[in-house]
Amino acid sequence: MHSDTKQRGGNGEPPADQRLTLKKFNSAGRGFWHDVSDKDWNSWHWQLKNRITTLEQLQRLMPTLTPEEIAGTQLANQKLALAITPYFFNLIDLADENCPIRRQVIPRVEETHTASWEMTDPCGEDSHSPVPGLVHRYPDRVLFLVTDRCAAYCRYCTRSRLVSNATGYDFHPEFDKQIAYIAEHPEVRDVLLSGGDPLLFSDEKLENLLSRLRAIPHVEFLRIGTRIPIFLPQRITPELCAMLRQFHPLFMSVHANHPRELTTEVRDALGRLADAGIPLGNQSVLLRHVNDDVTVMQALVQKLLMCRVKPYYIYQCDLISGSSHLRASVRKGLEIMEQLRGHTTGYGVPTYVIDAPGGGGKVPVSPEYVLSRNRDRTVLRNYEGKVFEYIEGENKQPEFKLSENFDMPQLPWGEVRGYGSRD
Ligand code: SF4
């Protein structure tokens, strides 16, 4: 078991201290790239150009590569490409085979094991796609897939059928058609740009796309789903932030799974986005031996709040083919939620959801707090397990009677209404 996910007392370290260690902001450092100039290292173009994409590079940088990882990497490019930015690579603990960062980006041979209930399109996106690259599953919003490329590739990616184009999926979004569909559907008030990662586009290309969407009168709200602030914080330049702030209301969903991903570089990048007025939410995926641990998840949500990011969702890992080694159980997810609600700031408690397999959409799952309910009363359990009753009258209004000689108060805003039987 990885050091970050050891159970309480397993390494002699009390959970509070372990959480404090996890919550520290550290820099990713330079690692193997200590000779690279600051100018290059801080350039997002340099980071992309120098990504680790081959087994030979990995073997040179990671002498501890296991046989499972070697076999997985040999096969990776037929399923989902291998790519890791030098910045993110530096977060891997090379001495730890089960490092939670390593498990997310280094391919393993288990990716070739497929169960009969696993799918290549677990959220049924292709069947809800009226034009290529656009998913219209919910009534008032669409998912606008703008690219099939990412800065690095997550081994559990729900869209691995299309991202990186390793499987030959024919992904050719046509922006004219996608935008025309949105313009012709006045019910679409919310557009989520995703992919792939939209922040891989140049500022000019992204600005053009956002301007075209903003020109549609019924589009009230824009969102960008991106993992770039985590994989490539160098991309979050002041120029990008200045461009994005023209398009408010514009929200951004980022994707961090483990507190170690929140480095000083990431904190600064998220700070620049927040300073540009962009509300930030985080979407984590519950992953086995990555973040399926209460202490790790508490540290993650608390650290996100320190970065001005609202923990928004924890996703149960979709039933994507070849992901069983990374999937944690729903039971574990519920146990974690039980230890978040009431035990930490309400703003730090995300919604735990399962994307219903085959295209049913997100379904929230939660520990049971309502023990029983009838017409008159609801029996509740709080986070400490204590039981309470909330009593309602027949008309479902809180029941109380005014005494006969009650004097109606004179309030500055006028007549009082809603006082039980006198109303
Ligand atoms: S960044 Fe998002 S789209 Fe890209 S590989 Fe990771 S999960 Fe998939």
**pLDDT digit string, tens, across residues 282-302:** 999 999 999 999 999 999 999
Residue type at 230 in one-letter notation: I
Q: Which of 79, 141, 288, 303 is catalytic?
A: 141
- Specify whether the CB–CB gap between 399 and 392 falls below 8 A: yes
Ligand 1 atom nearest to CA at 196 = 3
What span, in angstroms and rounded, lies between the C-alpha atoms of 158 and 123?
8
- Specify whether the CB–CB gap between 209 and 145 falls below 8 A: no
Q: Which of 267, 362, 369, 381 is catalytic?
A: 362
Nearest alpha carbon, ligand 1 atom 6: 154
Ligand 1 atom nearest to CA at 194 = 3
Residue 188 pLDDT: 98
Q: How far is the CA of 163 from the centre of ligand 1 (A)?
A: 7
Q: How far is the CA of 199 from the centre of ligand 1 (A)?
A: 12
Q: How far is the CA of 162 from the centre of ligand 1 (A)?
A: 10
- Specify whether the CB–CB gap between 125 and 133 falls below 8 A: no
Residue 402 pLDDT: 57
Using alpha carbons, select from 231, 152, 136 the residue that is nearest to residue 196. 152
Q: How far is the CA of 419 from the centre of ligand 1 (A)?
A: 55
Catalytic, 137? Answer yes
Residue 416 pLDDT: 39
Q: Which of 79, 123, 148, 150 is catalytic?
A: 150
Catalytic, 159? Answer yes
Mutate to test the pocket of ligand 1, among 197, 257, 285, 355 (most ligand atoms within 8 A of CB): 197
Residue type at 221 in one-letter notation: F
Q: How far is the CA of 193 from the centre of ligand 1 (A)?
A: 13
Residues in the chain: 423
Q: Which of 6, 23, 30, 137 is catalytic?
A: 137
Catalytic, 355? Answer yes
Q: How far is the CA of 401 from the centre of ligand 1 (A)?
A: 58
Catalytic, 362? Answer yes
Ligand 1 atom nearest to CA at 231 = 1
What span, in angstroms and rounded, lies between the C-alpha atoms of 107 and 81?
9
DSSP 195: S
- Specify whether the CB–CB gap between 314 and 336 falls below 8 A: yes
Q: How far is the CA of 251 from the centre of ligand 1 (A)?
A: 18
Q: Which residues form the pocket of ligand 1, taking CB atoms under 6 Å from any ligand atom?
A: 150, 153-154, 157, 159, 163, 196-197, 227
The answer to whether the Cα torsion of 127, 131, 132, 135 is positive or negative is negative
Using alpha carbons, select from 312, 350, 353, 313 the residue that is nearest to residue 330. 353
Nearest alpha carbon, ligand 1 atom 5: 153
Task: Provide the whole-model pTM.
Answer: 0.89
- Specify whether the CB–CB gap between 4 and 258 falls below 8 A: yes
Strand 134-138 versus strand 141-145 pairing type:
antiparallel
What span, in angstroms and rounded, lies between the C-alpha atoms of 404 and 47?
77
Catalytic, 318? Answer yes
Q: Which of 99, 123, 157, 307 is catalytic?
A: 157
- For residue 94, which phi and psi values (nearest 5 degrees)? -65, -25
Beta-strand runs (E) in 67-211: 134-138, 141-145, 190-194
Catalytic, 19? Answer no
Q: Which of 159, 161, 227, 235 is catalytic?
A: 159
Residue 124 pLDDT: 85
CA 218 to chain centre: 27
| Rg from Cα positions in the chain | 24
Residue 320 pLDDT: 92
Three-state secondary structure call for residue 336:
helix
Catalytic, 150? Answer yes
Low-confidence residues of the chain: pLDDT under 50: 1-12, 413-423
